[in-house]
Amino acid sequence: MKTRYDCIIIGAGISGAAIAYELSKKGYQTLNVDQLAAAGLGSTSNTCAIIRTHYSTLEGTAIAYDSWFDWKNWHAHIGVSDEKGYARFNQTGLINIYHQRKIPDKHMKFHDALGIPYEIWNREKLLTRMPHFVDDSFYPPRRPEDPRFHDLPEKKIDDTILYYPNDGYINDPVLSVHNIQRAAESKGATFLFNAKVVSIRSNENGILGIDLKDGTRIDAPVLVNAAGPHSAVINQMAGVAHKMNIKTRPLRHEVHFVPSPESFSYDKQGLVVGDGDLGGYHRPETGNLVLVGSEDPACDEKDWVEDPDQFNRDVTLAQYQAQTYRLAKRIPEIRIPNTPKGIADLYDVSDDWIPIYDRSDLNGFYLAIGTSGNQYKNGPAIGRLMAELIHAAENGHDHDADPLQVRLHHVDVTLNMGIFSRNREIIQGSTFSVLG
């Protein structure tokens, strides 16, 4: 292995691999360094891999739609064969049940502006398509230990339910990253695994390189922090954390699996469902299971983690019951086993749950962080945006003074990357949740 590259990328999840792919296309000699044994084994491995376009900003919506074209035409995007096969996009469609009118109004406005298809369903249409649902409203979401959890509903959900026919999920997110790795390698990229970064070297002019735990020293004038839940650790190591207005920190999250109801096969008929009324989401999972996750309702206390290498990786009975019992309000016939089955992992959460795609105050040090559990789907576009930013800044563009404008690849939008600045003010229009 060489000891000098044009660019080192810390992390080999969806973002890090995609950045390597796009920079390699531009002729950069890139090296991805990851402390795990293979690409995509960090938080990417436990993503719910939902592909959707509804976000709280027009820019987030545009990026998601730009990436959708790549997921839809995944073989063409990768452009090379992979001995492990290819990840598959299951285009099931997605429905959103809302708890307040202003949210679907915003989503329709953004989708109209970008030409993204959707349908407006009423409760009758919802129950025709999902006959195992009840259309009662249970808002606000509560936990089972709250005595009000068992109160009988007094009203129905809002009659504006949005259906997005393009949406779905990726069947194997780890395989998707392996696909990108192979694509990047075909352009000259290198990946190094089981390699832990212990120091970042720099001088008054900027980045010099990294040192690994085994003593290896690797030089590069460009370094990208795509370390996921370890992003804050890497920023501290580089000495830039205190110079950012928007910070990141790891948040522990759980998803759970329950059997499909007997009257409805999620394998064959299931949609992705965002249920804002109950503060959760669910989608089909292999084995005719239902994957159940949380949209971070106020009743669920946040489980912030100090050390991303030390956290409880076991699901908890309390959160399992909170998420599955809430689902049972919408699907009364759902079967909930006594023993929890699920996954616990970390989100890399920014202060406003919107990512940071930016340079830093240290020349040559770039940030693709704060993905907040909602950016897996945007991986292809993130790679392109970061490659354009790095290439422009390394060739003299002052991104802080004049935020870079990037034309999206598939969507007729020129994106102001300043919205993802490390020094932005909190974006108050955010959901402040995994929804972004």
Interval 166-209: pLDDT, tens:
999 999 999 999 999 999 999 999 999 999 999 999 999 999 99
Q: What is the DSSP string of 70-123?
A: HHHTHHHHH-S--TT----EE---EEEE-SSTHHHHHHHHHHHHHT---EEE-H
Closest CA to 359 of 387, 389, 379: 389
The topology under which CATH files domain 94-165+249-350 is D-Amino Acid Oxidase; Chain A, domain 2 (3.30.9)
Q: Tell me the Cα Rg of the chain.
A: 21
Q: What is the DSSP string of 196-213?
A: -EEEEEEETTEEEEEEET
DSSP-assigned letter for residue 150: G
Q: Read off the pLDDT band of 1 (50, 70, 90).
A: confident
Residue 199: CB atoms within 10 Å: 13
Sorted by where each begins, the domain ranges of the chain are: 7-86+172-247+352-420, 94-165+249-350
Closest CA to 82 of 40, 32, 28, 52: 40
Q: Measure the CA–CA gap between 69 and 379, rounded to whole angstroms.
A: 12
Q: Summarize the confidence of residues 239-268 as an average pLDDT.
A: 96
Q: Give the type of residue at 59.
A: E
H helices, E strands: number in the chain: 10, 23
Residues contacting 327, CB < 8 A, separation 6+: 258, 278, 280, 282, 290, 292, 334
What distances in angstroms separate CA 424 from CA 228, 350, 418, one per listed residue? 20, 12, 8
50-66 pLDDT, tens per residue?
999 999 999 999 999 99
Query: Which CATH superfamily does the domain covering 7-86+172-247+352-420 fall into?
Result: FAD/NAD(P)-binding domain (3.50.50.60)
Q: Read off the pLDDT band of 102 (50, 70, 90).
A: confident
Q: Give the type of residue at 19.
A: I
